[in-house]
Amino acid sequence: MFFATGDGKVFEPYPSSTQRSQPCRNFEFSEILIATENFDQSLVIGSGGFGKVYKGNIIYGSSLLVVAIKRLDSVSNQGATEFWAEVEMLSMLCHCNLVSLIGYCNHEKEMILVYEYMPNGTLDDHLHKLSSPLSWLQRLNICIGAGRGLHYLHTGTGIEYGVIHRDVKSSNILLHESWAAKIADFGLSKVGPTNQPSTYVNTHVKGSFGYFDPNYYATGKLTRKSDVYAFGVVLLEVLCRKRATDRSLDEGLVTWVQDSIKEGNLKQIIDSDIKGEISQKCLKEYVKITERCLHNSPKQRPAMAKVLFSLESVLALQVKFNNSLQSSHRTIFSRMVNLLPFSYNEENSGISNSLSFVLTYPFFARISMKIWKCYILTLKKDYQRLTILTLVVRT
């Protein structure tokens, strides 16, 4: 498959052993206008350094697809270089944790990219904009999904060359309707060496503030470990629910967290919405791998394969903890039912079923245990009062 760039050059994407079921399509501008209803502002679902993103419907093969359409803004600092880099990169890559490029449109000064639509938005949306917080398990699974996407890019699995993303951040992690995480925005990506003596690419420093690898920023040497550092910042965002460039922090998120850990205030930095969900062992391991990702020396940072293995281990620890918690809640529930002043039969089985459901899930259990204990104590006291009153009346 060949592409013609804006300056008339023709290139073929890097060979790939993993081919798409359908090729990246060159859309007519008229198709884009129909899909976006002439770029109706009500269809805008986001914006970034490249430009606005519209939700639209477009014909692809024999199907009508819901897609995300990103249009280059005339005042953007990005342009043809980033546009063709995105087309090139996503045309040679295929992985379930990378966003899929449906096609593109290069018409006069218009440069437009068409992607698969991600109905759950970005990780950034759920951490910093929406009022419904993600659970700890959801956050872990999202991190693992994004980690798998980065690991695929770095290792060159299924492709001839490794890729350095260069702009890993929470707003570039999109969420499918199934909550699967997908890495997006490859406009700044660089083809990186995989099995070569040189482990870095000399390039102008580009990326997003708050996620910059300090070594890359100082030397201009871009490596896969630069992505690892940025991913470490994302891991902090997920734990603390603070932006990488949080204005309430004078020193920035990374320094704030590192200082808090040194001062023994680890628990103080955890997002209050998930503080009661994380096991201590899980938290310890999560922070350990995050700190390694953020090491000042690139050589001391782990490869994404190691990061991914550690995160999967953390998830396993958390699931094990949750299961043991559920088991203990069931035991407590059985004891609580025995304390009730009425026998267990079909007439009151609904109460025990409600208790069973509530105590099965840690979130409800934390809230409900105190409530049900108070309820049972009240019942016991009322039962005792009723018994005494009955005795008095009889005498």
Q: Which domains does the chain have, with CATH numbers?
A: 3-116 (3.30.200.20), 123-319 (1.10.510.10), 340-394 (no CATH)
| Residue from 167, 185, 213, 227 carrying the catalytic annotation | 167
Q: What pLDDT score does 393 carry?
A: 45
- Tell me, yes or no, if 167 is annotated catalytic: yes
Tens-digit pLDDT profile for residues 103-152: 999 998 899 999 999 999 999 999 999 888 899 999 999 999 999 999 99
Average pLDDT of the chain to the nearest whole number: 80
Handedness of CA 338, 339, 343, 349 (dihedral sign): negative
Strand pairing class (101-107; 25-26): parallel
Q: What pLDDT score does 3 carry?
A: 40
Q: How confident is the model at residue 374 (pLDDT cuts 50, 70, 90)?
A: low
Q: What pLDDT score does 10 carry?
A: 36
Residue 231 near residue 307, CB atoms below 8 Å = yes
Residue 267 annotated as binding site: no
How far is Cα 38 from Cα 36, in angstroms, rounded to an integer?
5
**Residue 158: is its pLDDT beyond 80?**
no
Residue 95 near residue 149, CB atoms below 8 Å = yes
Comparing 87 with 61, the larger pLDDT belongs to 87
**Residue 196: is its pLDDT beyond 70?**
no
Q: How confident is the model at residue 296 (pLDDT cuts 50, 70, 90)?
A: very high
324, with CB counted inside 10 A (0-12, 13-18, 19+), is: exposed
CA R_g for the chain: 27
Long-range contacts of 48-54 (CB under 8 A, 24+ apart): 48/171, 48/185, 49/76, 49/77, 49/78, 49/187, 50/76, 50/78, 50/82, 50/83, 50/113, 50/185, 50/187, 51/76
Q: What pLDDT score does 293 carry?
A: 97
Q: What pLDDT score does 193 carry?
A: 60
Residue 315 near residue 277, CB atoms below 8 Å = no
Q: How confident is the model at residue 161 (pLDDT cuts 50, 70, 90)?
A: confident
Q: What pLDDT score does 181 carry?
A: 97
- The model carries a pTM of 0.77
Strand pairing class (221-222; 162-164): unpaired
Q: What pLDDT score does 76 carry?
A: 73
Handedness of CA 321, 323, 325, 327 (dihedral sign): negative
Q: What pLDDT score does 384 carry?
A: 59
**Residue 4: is its pLDDT beyond 50?**
no
